[in-house]
Amino acid sequence: MNRKIQAALVGAGKRGRNAYGTYALQRPHEIEFIAVAEPDTEKRELFAKQHGIPPERQFASWKELLAQPKLCEALLICTMDREHYAPAMLALDIGYHILLEKPMSHDPLETLSLADKAEQSGRILSVCHTMRYNPYYHELKRLLDSKVIGELISIQWAEHVYYEHYVTSFVRGNWRNAGESSPMILQKSCHDLDLLQWLIGSSCISVSSFGKLTYFRKENAPVGSTERCTDGCAVETTCPYSAIRNYYHTKQGGWYNAVSLQPSLEARLKAIQEGPYGRCVFHCDNDVVDHQVVNLLFENDVTVSFTMTGFASEGTRSFKLMGTLGEIRGYRKKNEITLNYYNGKQETIFPEKVEGGHGGGDFLIMRDFLIQIRTGNLISKSGAAVSAQSHMIAFAAEHSRVTGHTVKLSDYAHSIRSGRPDDGREPNREEVRV
């Protein structure tokens, strides 16, 4: 239980470097990174310097790293969405235990295939659904399982994506275009769908969804705006989405570190003037939705109304869970859970806090992954099989949003595996009458 695990990192971006790399720097007795693969030279060399990785174990691609004889026990895959599936499949063949950033893949068939492969391999494949490890949601799960509000009947759940986060990641940034990454409901909100599946403890059977990219479009650009915020835009000084405001000036909780690895003002200004983060939010090649709603029906009759919005003054999740004896309300940012019983009693709970991002989830998933390796326990809280199930809810939701059809999940999954044209949609009234 005390032996140190050696690991390799594929993808030395913010998640790989800051969330999981930091864990190793803070707990060098538990894990040591001995190799890194990253196409960006600056990021690769920075991670290698932080962890003392020699030049011969610094690789420009995951293909180069996985072409080597097996280097260690663990592999963390933190690449972009469309480079999760291929390295994970190959790494399982080689014999690595894997911690895989979400989503498993942008493609539903690849997602199911990867879950099958993980089960057959006898290796650990944990997906970074870090919210499952967050003490706040563990307390919520405990309350539901103990039936303090009786039988759960319905849920109102919302993900409030902080507006700076939304425009940085999903308008200007790496996840702005579904054709290059994955749909918003999968990339960002698979956390929520996974949490809902886990909290409810039942299988989702039917999905419907609506949503659009409404605001961040060229036709909504203000008069006097320019292609870049530094090109003399007439409204830059009053625009809440200004790149100069959000990335150049240092402020608490700002997103300026997404723009440049170098913290200097000169480096940030150069990045804004030349890189993708300096573009006007109304003049980007983004196509992912800025708001979406999803309705879910579960096998145990629980219904869910889930809302994702990119228009929020702070990033958090809020919810109302309604049962036969009372309701549970929560606002994650405040770290409080309120129980309102129908007999008039009220109770407020403040769950424990743990260090690390995602409310401690980043720290706890790493700790759990290392314990799994040491003990040989293949059962993960966020293993490939259970994660694939919640991914399929996201795929079905996006399918419903695009087609306008309600989707029966079992039929949809079967159609994906079989490749047949039946898309799992439920027939409308006219079709039933015919």
Q: What percent of the chain has pLDDT over 90?
A: 87
* Backbone dihedral angles phi then psi of residue 67, each to the nearest 5 degrees: -80, -15
H or E segment to which residue 408 belongs = strand 407-408
Angle at 418 between CA 414 and CA 422, to 5 degrees: 65
H or E segment to which residue 44 belongs = helix 41-51
> What b/e readout covers 107-144, taking b as 16+ CB neighbours within 10 angstroms?
bbebbbbbbebbeebebbbbbbbbbbbbbbbbbbbebb
Distance CA 365, CA 183 (A): 24
Greatest alpha-carbon span in the chain: 69
The residues that bridge with 76 in the sheet, in sequence order, are 9, 99
Side chain identity at 55, as an amino acid letter? Answer: P
Q: What predicted TM-score, i.e. pTM, was given to this entire model?
A: 0.94
**Which domains, from first to last, does the chain contain?**
5-131+360-383 (3.40.50.720), 132-215+287-355+390-418 (3.30.360.10), 218-278 (no CATH)
Banded model confidence at residue 425, pLDDT cuts 50, 70, 90: low
Q: Could you give the 3-state DSSP secondary structure of residue 220?
A: helix
Distance CA 182, CA 176 (A): 9
295-309 residue pLDDT tens: 999 999 999 999 999
Which candidate, 246, 173, 163, places its Cα nearest to that of 14? 173
The stretch 110-118 carries a mean pLDDT of 97
Distance CA 397, CA 409 (A): 9
Distance CA 328, CA 347 (A): 10
318-352 residue pLDDT tens: 999 999 999 999 999 999 999 999 999 999 999 99
179-203 residue pLDDT tens: 999 999 999 999 999 999 999 999 9
Tokens 């915020």 correspond to 229
Q: Would you say residue 252 has pLDDT above 90?
A: no
Side chain identity at 279, as an amino acid letter? Answer: R
148-176 residue pLDDT tens: 999 999 999 999 999 999 999 999 999 99
pLDDT for the residue 433 = 30
Residues 6 or more apart from 250 whose CB is under 8 A from it? Answer: 256, 263
The stretch 96-117 carries a mean pLDDT of 97
Structure tokens at 227: 């292609």
The average confidence (pLDDT) of the chain is 93
Question: Do the bridges between strand 303-312 and strand 291-298 make them parallel or antiparallel, or are there none, so unpaired?
Answer: antiparallel
**Are the C-beta atoms of residues 143 and 340 closer than 8 Å to each other?**
no
Side chain identity at 352, as an amino acid letter? Answer: E
H or E segment to which residue 293 belongs = strand 291-298
Distance CA 216, CA 30 (A): 45
Residues 6 or more apart from 373 whose CB is under 8 A from it? Answer: 5, 73, 74, 97, 124
pLDDT for the residue 424 = 57
DSSP code at position 183:
-
DSSP code at position 381:
T
